Structure 1
Amino acid sequence: MLILCGSPISNYYNKVKLALLEKGLPFTEEAAATHSSDDAILSASPLGKIPFVRTAHGGLCESQAILDYIEATAPQPALLPADAFEAAKVRELTTFIDWHLEIVARQLYASTFFGAAPLSEGNLARIRKQLETNIAAFKKLARFSPYVAGDSFSQADCAAFSNLPLVGMASKAAFGEDLLIAGDIDYKPYIKFIGERPSAQKVVADRKAAQAKT
């Protein structure tokens, strides 16, 4: 049985967890702190990052690699289209969400969510410009019809449901406005729509329970 390691508070952990729940795959969860120096963790995730999984074949880290492993070993229900180009477009959109939206917004988290010193005006301006540019590019790819990549739930929804609210909250806290909404991406009805799925409800409930313990 696959073991998902990390924390329900982590958005990338929840990206993987949502996919596992959608697949209906049996898995267990194991708490693991990010950037741990524990050899047992580093053997599966050499940078100590979460999430990672323990499989019958060994450890595997990086959320997208994990999703692709899950898809290859349990292809139904499919989280990627059968058509090669359409599958690549889902991966493209997932990359935009993870790397061009969330990772950029992540630079704001320490000061907006965790009480770190405020960022300099120069850094704030740089991050805002990068987010605005990347949000405009994302808008050209996202469909929201009704799913982020089209008419079927996909890997991209696992990323979008986990990451878009963080981008919105961080940008609003840092700049006084949600840059996704300002960029004409009305993602909140979409988040509510995905949130009606039992898998998403489980992810959210477990995240809130974990946050209540911190």
Structure 2
Amino acid sequence: MTRLQPLRLHGYAVSNYFNIAHAALIETATPFELVTTRASQQAEFLAISPMGKIPLLHTPAGWIGETVAILGYIEDCLPIPTLHAADPFQRARERQVINVVQLYVEAPVRSLFPGVFMGANNSPVSVAAARITLDRAVVALRHLVAPGPFLMGPALSYADLFAFYCLDIAERVCGFVYRRSILAELGLQGWFAQMAQRDSTQTVLALFEDAFGQYLKEKNATYRFRPVGYRTRTPAIEQRPA
């Protein structure tokens, strides 16, 4: 299928899901424009994003929301698919990893955002519930991924993009709440460092660092963010204020 143009990616660089879509557009060499847009429940925004969420992709045919759908559209519009395995079984395995990362890593850590990034408090019940799901996800991912050098083998895939940006935020939350490193438990520090060196990552996370620091100030968050540029090390866990 011929790639459709122009594409405009709407969202906000604090969002790991927006960053996944941004990185995918870069990695597939798809021409696009970025439009800074915050999530909203206003009627005008709900008309184009029924859940009021970002990211959104504006295409010549209309609007697409939800990151999985956006990546599917990008891939379908490429003359030659680039970030999915050719083999149907391998593609299914990639999607399996994406689902595990979204539902059992990102979702539980997102439940803890209020007490980490938003100046509120997390209840002991929510902290304990998230820990149970995360523990199970770590066990599952140990079975599903084995960097070689990428998560699913020798080639970069959408599983790498989802995992990188979801594990990045999980590393921050888990370090702050539990004093644990999900990357270390998974043995993925080397993979993470390699992904951090990619041109797409450097571009995406430069915008993230600028936006995230301002976001934390707006929310009066207890989490303290120290920009590290993602050039020499993974996110530190010693970020609870003294």
TM-score, scaled relative to structure 1:
0.92
Residue in 2 that maps onto 1:108: 112
2:102 counterpart of 1:98: yes
Counterpart CA distance in 2 for 1:211 and 1:169 is 12
Aligned to 2:67: 63
In the alignment, which residue of structure 2 is the partner of 1:190?
Answer: 191
SS in 1 for 2:186: coil
Find the partner of 1:152 among 146, 152, 155: 155
Deviations 1:37-63 (A, max 9, x none): 151x32321011000111011000000
| 1:3 counterpart = 2:8 | yes
Aligned length: 210
Q: C-alpha distance in 1, partners of 2:38/2:165?
A: 19
Query: Does the CA contact (< 8 Å) of 1:44 and 1:59 recur in 2?
Result: yes
- Write 1 or 2 for the structure with the bigger share of helix: 1
Cα distance in 1 between the residues matched to 2:168 and 2:202: 15
Instruction: Select the residue among 134, 139, 144 that pairs with 2:137.
Output: 134
Match of 2:239 in 1: none
Preserved CA contact (<8 Å) 1:43 1:59: no
Query: What are structure 1's unaligned runs of at least 5 residues?
Result: none
CA change 1:14–1:147 in 2 (3 A) is same
**Partners of 1:168 and 1:178 within 8 A in 2:** yes
- Distance, in Å, in 1 between the alignment partners of 2:201 and 2:79 is 20
CA contact (8 A) 1:135 1:180 kept: no
Three-state SS of the structure 1 residue aligned to 2:152 is: coil
The structure-2 alpha-carbon separation of the partners of 1:68 and 1:34, relative to structure 1 and needing over 3 Å to count, comes to same
State the match for 2:169 in structure 1.
Answer: 166
Q: Could you tell me the percent identity over the aligned residues? A: 30
CA distance in 2, matches of 1:194, 1:68: 21
1:128-167 deviation per Cα after TM superposition (whole angstroms, max 9, x unaligned): 1111012111211112221112211000111111110211
The answer to whether the 8 A contact 1:93-1:149 is kept is no
CA-based RMSD: 1.6
Aligned partners of 1:108 and 1:171 also within 8 Å:
no
Q: Is this contact kept in 2: 1:22–1:199, CA < 8 A? A: yes
What residue in structure 2 maps to residue 24 of structure 1? 29
Q: Is the Cα contact below 8 Å between 2:111 and 2:126 reproduced in 1?
A: no
Unaligned runs of 5+ in 2: 1-5, 216-242
Instruction: Report what 2:124 is aligned to.
Output: 121
**What's the CA shift for 1:212?**
4.6
